[in-house]
Amino acid sequence: MGEKEVQSASPGRPVDAEKLDRILDAVLDCFADGDMHFTIEGIARRAGVSKGTIYRRFDNAEALLRAVLERQHQEMAGLGPLPVNTIDDLREQLIVLGTQLLAFLTSDQGVRIMRTVITHGARHCEHGELIYRDGPRAFVARAAACLERAAELGEIRVDNPMHTAEQLIGMWKGSLVHGLLMNGCPAPGAEELRFRVESAVNLLLTALKAHQQQ
């Protein structure tokens, strides 16, 4: 990312939601085009806004990256845990999470973004750490919170929610995501994605309920 200097956000009217979405979409478009060395000026040009509009909301390009990661996480995982009172609640919430995650990871834009992020993160560890913490790791934590809540209610037994959530996400992705990254397989349809997510959730919950009874 360019423009290393930190500029203080200027006072004035807040950026409206429509312009903010265009700004964040422009950052994602940069990623999808293979460019993570974006500048505020370049993003403003893509989004059709002024640099001042961006600086009213963001101090620098890194703050803009964090906002993009936060929005993606919210779109895939939601703003917060929904009530989990039964095993059926847990199952449904995990299915929603998995479906949203795979819908992004298997989309054309998602695949192109992942290729860019992986290449960039290998060369710029500080950005790789940020993207990992606020992206994949945050999503694992969201799934882990669902499992932990169900365990607190006595619906399942789980010794390490974060580790178990990682295992579930690994089942969702399987070899599919790697295959898409290397152009080794076609993107699956909605029905296939749903089956992949549901079968993994059912397998995990069956194992956790059996573990509870031991």
Model confidence pLDDT, tens digit, residues 154-176: 999 999 999 999 999 999 999 99
pLDDT of residue 180: 96
Model confidence pLDDT, tens digit, residues 17-36: 899 999 999 988 888 887 77
Q: 12 in a domain, yes or no?
A: no
Q: 37 in a domain, yes or no?
A: yes
Domain that holds residue 39: 17-64
| Claim to verify: residue 124 and residue 57 sit in the same structural domain | no
Q: How confident is the model at residue 92 (pLDDT cuts 50, 70, 90)?
A: very high
Task: Give the count of domains, the chain.
Answer: 2
The fraction of the chain above a pLDDT of 90, given in percent, is: 53
| Claim to verify: residue 21 and residue 115 sit in the same structural domain | no
Model confidence pLDDT, tens digit, residues 52-90: 999 999 988 888 888 888 887 777 666 555 678 899 999
**SS3 of the chain:** CCCCCCCCCCCCCCCCHHHHHHHHHHHHHHHHCCCCCCCHHHHHHHHCCCHHHHHCCCCCHHHHHHHHHHHHHHHHHCCCCCCCCCHHHHHHHHHHHHHHHHHHHCCHHHHHHHHHHHHHHHHCHHHHHHHHHHCHHHHHHHHHHHHHHHHHCCCCCCCCHHHHHHHHHHHHHCCHHHHHHCCCCCCCCHHHHHHHHHHHHHHHHHHHHHHHHC
Q: 3 in a domain, yes or no?
A: no
| Claim to verify: residue 45 and residue 112 sit in the same structural domain | no
